[in-house]
Chain A
Amino acid sequence: MILGGRALRKTFASELRALAPIDFAVERGEFVALVGPSGCGKSTLLRILAGLDQPDEASSLENRANPGRASFVFQEAALLPWRSALGNVELAIELDAKAASSEARRFRARDALARVGLADFAARFPHELSGGMKMRVSLARALVTDPELLFLDEPFGALDEFTRLDLDEDLRSLWRERGGTVFFVTHSIEEAVLLADRVWVFSSRPGRLVLDHRLAGLPAERKRELRRDPRYRQEVETIEAALARHREPRA
């Protein structure tokens, strides 16, 4: 187990409970996608797991990734506008506790950019990059520190369909190449099924874990063509049904 929690609960001042008490465990090397309606507390859970927020209550909450070996990709690319793509990726190494020479930094950053397909865009600044490219830089910045655990919070939600599918495919194959644990929050059922091996379904507010579903029947390699496969459609329907049962009536 790399992430685990018992009886974890979080309430906000607005008195709308964000998270009902939930129990969960993520094993090392898993790709978990968390889906649920907006406002159900998915991002809250992610922020708690990453250490950005505190739960009100939890009989246990564990993150066994080594310190500094967890990375995060946000809904927005969150790049420094005054740094090039390369400089933004180097930032992750600069902020590491271990000192690295500037050549070593540059080498690793170039390598990370190449892995997300941006080898030729290292010198470009964020304002010169498309939304999808910015997200790739953000992904490279997350990968360059070789994380054991990668948190992604609806990272491709703002992108157009084609770009999003490109990034989904690339994220999946990057994970297959390098391993590690991925925790991916999305409101798209289709994206969750295309990416993950295990899908968690959250109910509407207060968020409860209503389905913990392993996608055992799907191939390990996932390309967009899979969306026409009956097995894929079957999984999407299973999750849709679970979500529909636990949604607020006509929110």
Chain B
Amino acid sequence: MSWAKRLDPLWPLASIASFAEVGSRAGWWEAYLFPAPSMVVACLWEDRAEFGGAFAETLFAASLGWGIALAAGTLLALTLSLSDRVERAFRPYAVFFQTVPVVAIAPLLVIWFGFGRPTVVAAAAIVSVFPVLAAGFAGLRSASAALTDYFRLRRAGRLATLFKLRIPSAVPQLLTGARIAAGLAVIGAVVGEFVGGGGLGGVVDAATAQQRVDKVFAAVLLSTLLGFGLVSIVDAARERLLSRWLRS
């Protein structure tokens, strides 16, 4: 893509920001409802040290939770795919992780892990584990019928089939799961910080109490950028790794 085309997504942003700036300054609405973008930027600059620290904290917690979800989700997918019986027995519990509302269990996490980082990491891991598990599980079964027949005909053992066919076949889906999980991990971390304290979630929580809407907006903007950044990293990895898988 040319640079001009890459910049196209900035159009809507520029339009909305201009509108918000003009409307806020002209007094079309109260500034505490929706601050002017210039106020948000000014706030970001003024409290840059605080925001920098909070950003790093959330980045760390979200990344760690995401990493745990990747490892645990992949292992669970492998376990579930061991046999049909294991799958039947455990699949409903796996769905639990998909449907569990992290906001509702966040207080529980505080009881288990206390205030601070472990709660935040746990919240990030819990919400992001299911997409990895689901995608990995589907991926492990995605080898074509002909290839599966081929391995049977060659009398390939379970391990050989797993390592030479099923795990490599699962890579594209696993990366898709990792991409979804990256976005969710940031959400989980921020929600965890509402109850566990610290990070951008903590900033949002404190700023809301002080009715500093500009600061809330600044923190929300940063956490969105954080999620966007993590997803972009997975996209880049996907493009590099998958050229062979996707183009065949």
- CB within 8 Å of B: which of A75-117? 75-76, 78-82, 91-92, 94-97
Instruction: Indicate with 1 or 0, residue by residue over B216-248, a CB within 8 angstroms of chain A CB atoms.
Output: 000000000000000000000000000011011
A91: which B residues are within 8 A, CB to CB? Answer: 164
- Report which of A71, A78, A82, A125 forms a contact with B146, defined as CB distance below 8 A: A78
**Contact at B149–A127, with CB atoms within 8 Å?**
no
* Interface residue total, chain B, C-beta cutoff 8 A: 20
The answer for the CA separation of A80 and B248 in the assembled complex, in Å, is: 9
**Contact at A74–B146, with CB atoms within 8 Å?**
yes
The answer for the CA separation of A79 and B164 in the assembled complex, in Å, is: 12
Interface stretch (choices B62-70, B100-108, B151-159, B202-210): B151-159
The answer for the CA separation of A242 and B97 in the assembled complex, in Å, is: 62
A80: which B residues are within 8 A, CB to CB? Answer: 147, 164-165, 168
Q: Confirm or deny: A68 has a beta carbon within 8 angstroms of a beta carbon on chain B.
A: yes
**Contact at A82–B168, with CB atoms within 8 Å?**
yes
The answer for the CA separation of A78 and B150 in the assembled complex, in Å, is: 8
**Contact at A95–B247, with CB atoms within 8 Å?**
no
Which secondary structure dominates where chain B touches chain A? helix
Q: Confirm or deny: B111 has a beta carbon within 8 angstroms of a beta carbon on chain A.
A: no
The answer for the CA separation of A13 and B154 in the assembled complex, in Å, is: 28
CB closest chain-A residue, reference B165: A80
Q: Confirm or deny: A241 has a beta carbon within 8 angstroms of a beta carbon on chain B.
A: no
- Report which of B152, B154, B168, B248 forms a contact with A125, defined as CB distance below 8 A: B248
Q: Confirm or deny: A249 has a beta carbon within 8 angstroms of a beta carbon on chain B.
A: no
Q: Confirm or deny: A50 has a beta carbon within 8 angstroms of a beta carbon on chain B.
A: yes
B211: which A residues are within 8 A, CB to CB? Answer: none
**Contact at A126–B151, with CB atoms within 8 Å?**
no
- CB within 8 Å of A: which of B176-208? none
- Report which of B151, B171, B244 forms a contact with A95, defined as CB distance below 8 A: B151
**Contact at B244–A75, with CB atoms within 8 Å?**
no
B79: which A residues are within 8 A, CB to CB? Answer: none
Given contacts A78-B144, A78-B150, A127-B248, are A68 and B168 in contact (CB under 8 A)? no
Q: Confirm or deny: A251 has a beta carbon within 8 angstroms of a beta carbon on chain B.
A: no
Q: Confirm or deny: B160 has a beta carbon within 8 angstroms of a beta carbon on chain A.
A: yes
**Contact at A94–B150, with CB atoms within 8 Å?**
no
**Contact at A78–B153, with CB atoms within 8 Å?**
no
**Contact at B244–A74, with CB atoms within 8 Å?**
no
The answer for the CA separation of A71 and B149 in the assembled complex, in Å, is: 12
B160: which A residues are within 8 A, CB to CB? Answer: 94-95
**Contact at A81–B245, with CB atoms within 8 Å?**
yes
A216: which B residues are within 8 A, CB to CB? Answer: none
- Report which of B149, B154, B156 forms a contact with A74, defined as CB distance below 8 A: B149
**Contact at B164–A72, with CB atoms within 8 Å?**
no
**Contact at B245–A50, with CB atoms within 8 Å?**
no
**Contact at A92–B147, with CB atoms within 8 Å?**
no
Q: How far is the CB of A13 from chain B (nearest CB, A)?
A: 18
B144: which A residues are within 8 A, CB to CB? Answer: 76, 78
**Contact at A125–B155, with CB atoms within 8 Å?**
no
Given contacts A51-B153, A52-B152, A95-B160, are A76 and B146 in contact (CB under 8 A)? yes
B248: which A residues are within 8 A, CB to CB? Answer: 79, 81, 125-127
CB closest chain-A residue, reference B147: A78
**Contact at B154–A52, with CB atoms within 8 Å?**
no
- CB within 8 Å of A: which of B127-157? 144, 146-147, 149-156
**Contact at A95–B147, with CB atoms within 8 Å?**
no
Known: A80-B147, A125-B248. 20 other contacts (CB 8 A): A51-B153, A52-B149, A67-B155, A72-B150, A74-B149, A74-B150, A76-B144, A76-B146, A78-B150, A81-B244, A81-B245, A82-B168, A94-B160, A95-B154, A95-B160, A95-B164, A96-B154, A97-B155, A125-B244, A127-B247
* 7 A-B pairs with least C-beta separation: A81-B248, A78-B146, A95-B154, A127-B247, A127-B248, A74-B146, A95-B156
28 residue pairs A–B, Cβ–Cβ below 8 Å: A52-B152, A67-B155, A68-B154, A72-B149, A72-B153, A75-B146, A76-B144, A76-B146, A78-B144, A78-B149, A78-B150, A80-B147, A80-B165, A81-B244, A81-B245, A81-B247, A81-B248, A82-B168, A82-B244, A82-B245, A92-B154, A94-B164, A95-B154, A95-B160, A95-B164, A97-B155, A125-B244, A127-B248
